[in-house]
């Protein structure tokens, strides 16, 4: 039997244990996995899974150092002690399966370097997209493609909030409060609504898609706090829907990669536009394949555990294959890692500055309602090489007007310079919203 130590018995840990304790009808390799030790913070807490008496509850330090344990599953979450536990497990020669995007996106360099040196696997299918298989497809089935772009709706909480704002109307703060009551948003929603969680995930996907490490600190993350009911309304009228997108794309110079998270106006016909509620989806575009989209539950005990256990199964598979090879060639034992399951890149991708981006923009201006304002906006944009695709003016009360523009694809630096000039015009009261448009 291959012995597993489980760090964490919360949502994902309990889901993982539940699969491993109920194997009938699943892949035969699961028969070889046995949970022997589990670490939790609070031993007295009621659990949603009944562990057999043979499973010992012990501190995590004991699991990662136990010579009997072959694979450590890290599902504690957070940065510490998760990072230390993963590193220690690798040092002790164990394979690691983790769902922890926060640790992998920040400490991937350290973790994978150590794992490669130790000849152990670190698997992370559950870290992005919950139950959606995306890590192994990027490593294997899609690997022959030259990836152009990976675009994801990878945070269920923000997608739930934006979906409700779109379908019911209502402002962000009210729907967030309701989502918290219903358990769809954390008490501290920062990591989700400010785009940090999505940034962790796109860092991982970009690294796999473009074959280099990604400096997580350099990823620009803009969340959904500034999306208003008014913008959702305009999006609807203009034929768009607003989604929080995590985007990683190869730049035309073929050297730089742009990795970013921001709320985005998405044409209603776009493959990601119909992904609603807590669901996640990841659209991968590459040559020669074209587009392929992965869709499914991005969180939840069963879904995420399905991804965790698939990693366990892959490791059992290679342990078997390695054992068979060793029997055949007893003279040349090798602990070389399977190239499709391990991480071999060591350089960092060069990230394009945001100002170098070419994209379309939506901007909403509050102005005084006097003749010629639209003309002035058009002139300033024109002077900065920003061509407009559409412009709409709506009169408000008190001799004020709201002007909404959608640009053609323009240079981000040019657009921002034009915006600074416009903000200084006496007729422009404010620019409440600016969003990118796909």
Of the candidates 6, 33, 35, 126, which one interacts with ligand NAP according to CB under 6 A? Answer: 126
Of the candidates 4, 35, 77, 202, which one interacts with ligand NAP according to CB under 6 A? Answer: 77
242 binds ligand NAP (CB under 6 A): no
CA distance linking residue 13 with residue 373, whole number of Å = 59
134 binds ligand NAP (CB under 6 A): no
Distant-in-sequence, close-in-space partners of 148: CB < 8 Å, separation ≥ 6: 249, 250, 285, 286, 287
Tell which phi-psi region holds residue 326, choosing left (phi > 0), alpha (psi between -120 and 50) or beta: alpha
Site string for ligand NAP, 399-438 (x = CB under 6 A): ----------------------------------------
Site string for ligand NAP, 333-362 (x = CB under 6 A): ------------------------------
Of the candidates 4, 73, 75, 419, which one interacts with ligand NAP according to CB under 6 A? Answer: 75
Q: Quick check: is 201 catalytic? A: yes
- Helix, strand, or coil (residue 400): strand
Determine the interface stretch with ligand NAP among 41-49, 86-94, 177-185, 209-217 (rule: CB under 6 A). Answer: 41-49
CA distance linking residue 139 with residue 210, whole number of Å = 11
Of the candidates 1, 24, 25, 42, which one interacts with ligand NAP according to CB under 6 A? Answer: 42
Tell me the CA distances in angstroms from 418 to 213, 373, 434, one per residue in order: 34, 15, 13
Nearest distance in Å: CB 259, ligand NAP: 20
100 binds ligand NAP (CB under 6 A): yes
Tell me the CA distances in angstroms from 400 to 132, 239, 362, 370, 430, one per residue in order: 48, 25, 20, 8, 11
64 binds ligand NAP (CB under 6 A): no
Determine the interface stretch with ligand NAP among 7-15, 176-184, 236-244, 253-261 (rule: CB under 6 A). Answer: 7-15
CA distance linking residue 306 with residue 12, whole number of Å = 9
Nearest distance in Å: CB 130, ligand NAP: 5
Peptide bond preceding 288 in cis form (omega within 30 of 0): yes
CA distance linking residue 310 with residue 297, whole number of Å = 16
Contact yes or no for 261/246 (Cβ under 8 A)? yes
For 223-371, list the strands marked E by DSSP.
240-250, 256-267, 279-287, 290-297, 350-351, 358-368
Of the candidates 211, 300, 378, 432, which one interacts with ligand NAP according to CB under 6 A? Answer: 300
130 binds ligand NAP (CB under 6 A): yes
Instruction: Choose, from 101, 201, 218, 423, the residue flagged as catalytic.
Output: 201
9 binds ligand NAP (CB under 6 A): yes
Between residues 167 and 190, which has the closer beta carbon with respect to ligand NAP?
Answer: 190
CA distance linking residue 424 with residue 115, whole number of Å = 54
Between residues 56 and 356, which has the closer beta carbon with respect to ligand NAP?
Answer: 56
Of the candidates 10, 133, 170, 271, which one interacts with ligand NAP according to CB under 6 A? Answer: 10
Determine the interface stretch with ligand NAP among 3-11, 135-143, 186-194, 315-323 (rule: CB under 6 A). Answer: 3-11
Nearest distance in Å: CB 301, ligand NAP: 7
- Helix, strand, or coil (residue 236): helix
Using alpha carbons only, what angle is made at residue 107 by residues 151 and 19, rounded to the nearest 5 degrees? 70
Position of minimal CB gap to ligand NAP: 10
Between residues 73 and 352, which has the closer beta carbon with respect to ligand NAP?
Answer: 73
Site string for ligand NAP, 146-175 (x = CB under 6 A): ------------------------------
CA distance linking residue 153 with residue 226, whole number of Å = 18
10: Cα within 13 Å, side-chain hemisphere: 12
CA distance linking residue 213 with residue 204, whole number of Å = 8
Nearest distance in Å: CB 13, ligand NAP: 5
Residue entry with tokens 């000039």: 421
Residues assigned a catalytic role: 201
For ligand NAP, the binding residues (CB under 6 A) are: 8-13, 39-42, 45, 60, 75-77, 81, 99-100, 126, 130, 299-300, 304
């Amino acid at each position: 039997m291959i012995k597993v130590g489980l760090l964490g018995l919360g949502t994902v840990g309990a889901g993982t244990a539940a699969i491993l304790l109920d194997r009938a009808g699943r892949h035969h390799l699961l028969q070889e996995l046995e949970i022997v030790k589990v670490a939790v913070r609070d031993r007295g807490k009621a659990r949603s899974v009944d562990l057999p008496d043979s499973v010992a509850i012990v501190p995590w330090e004991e699991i990662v150092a136990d010579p009997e344990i072959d694979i450590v599953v890290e599902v504690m979450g957070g940065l510490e002690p998760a990072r230390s536990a993963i590193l220690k497990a690798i040092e002790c020669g164990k394979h690691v399966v983790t769902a922890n995007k926060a640790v992998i996106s920040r400490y991937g360099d350290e973790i994978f370097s150590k794992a490669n040196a130790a000849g152990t696997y670190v698997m992370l299918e559950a870290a992005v997209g919950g139950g959606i298989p995306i890590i192994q497809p990027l490593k294997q089935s899609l690997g022959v493609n030259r990836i152009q772009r990976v675009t994801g709706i990878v945070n269920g909480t923000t997608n739930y909030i934006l979906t409700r704002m779109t379908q019911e109307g209502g402002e962000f703060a009210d729907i967030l409060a309701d989502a918290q009551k219903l358990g769809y948003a954390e008490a501290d929603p920062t990591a989700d609504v400010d785009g940090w969680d999505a940034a962790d995930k796109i860092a991982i996907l970009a690294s796999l898609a473009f074959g280099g490490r990604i400096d997580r600190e350099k990823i620009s993350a803009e969340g959904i706090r500034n999306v208003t009911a008014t913008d959702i309304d305009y999006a609807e009228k203009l034929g768009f829907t607003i989604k929080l997108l995590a985007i990683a794309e190869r730049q035309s110079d073929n050297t730089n990669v742009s990795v970013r998270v921001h709320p985005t106006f998405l044409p209603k016909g776009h493959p990601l536009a119909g992904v609603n509620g807590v669901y996640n989806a990841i659209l991968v575009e590459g040559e020669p394949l074209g587009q392929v989209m992965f869709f499914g539950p991005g969180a939840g005990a069963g879904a995420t555990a399905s991804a965790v256990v698939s990693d366990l199964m892959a490791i059992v598979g290679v342990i078997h294959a390695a054992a068979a090879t060793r029997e055949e060639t007893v003279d040349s034992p090798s602990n070389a890692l399977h190239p499709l399951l391990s991480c071999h890149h060591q350089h960092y991708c060069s990230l394009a500055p945001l100002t170098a981006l070419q994209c379309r923009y939506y901007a909403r201006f509050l102005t005084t309602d006097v003749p010629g304002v639209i003309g002035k906006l058009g002139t300033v944009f024109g002077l900065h090489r920003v061509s407009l695709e559409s412009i709409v003016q709506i009169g408000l009360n008190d001799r004020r007007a709201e002007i909404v523009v959608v640009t053609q694809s323009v240079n981000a630096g040019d657009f921002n310079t034009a915006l600074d000039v416009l903000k200084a015009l006496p007729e422009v009261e404010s620019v409440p919203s600016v969003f990118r448009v796909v």
